Amino acid sequence: MKYFLLHSFLLICIFAFHNPAFSGQAQIESVKAECNHKRICNFDVTIRHADEGWSHFANGWKVLTTSGELLGHRALAHPHVNEQPFTRSLRNVKIPPSVDTVAIVANDSVHGESKRKYVLKLTFTPY
């Protein structure tokens, strides 16, 4: 029984270490995008992160093509310790004609870019 409990504890530790939800990475919870016929989009992105203050906080997010090309970046200048989750916007992101799906990726000051991407198919309003 003692070995079973030790083995279970080690497995939980390994899972927690490798799982972004437990490792302190910033996570995108939701994205709202409004895009016009000129292929200009406004993004409202909701992020959750266990901000600890200036030493560890969600410090930005990116809009990328699915192949990884940067389309836009929103820097976050301060911790949001008492505001979780929080939503911030990025306006006037130009989307190339060949792109109809984007990936949103959060970033934090300790772990860098999150391993989890939020993929979103865009809808462009007609004229």
**Higher pLDDT pick, 8 / 72:** 72
Domain presence at residue 11: no
Structural domains in the chain (count): 1
Check whether 45 has a pLDDT greater than 90.
yes
Residues 6+ apart with CB under 8 A from 15: 22
Say which CATH number the domain at 109 has. 2.60.40.150
Which range marks the domain in which residue 80 is found? 26-121
The CA-based dihedral angle spanning residues 50, 53, 55, 58, taken in that order and rounded to the nearest 10 degrees: 50
Query: Which residues, at least 6 apart from 42, have a Cβ–Cβ distance to it below 8 Å?
Result: 33, 34, 35, 89, 90, 91, 92, 93
- Whether residue 20 is preceded by a cis peptide bond, meaning omega within 30 degrees of 0, is no
pTM more than 0.85: no
Inform me whether the pLDDT recorded for 113 exceeds 80. yes
Lowest mean pLDDT among 40-44, 53-57, 74-78: 53-57
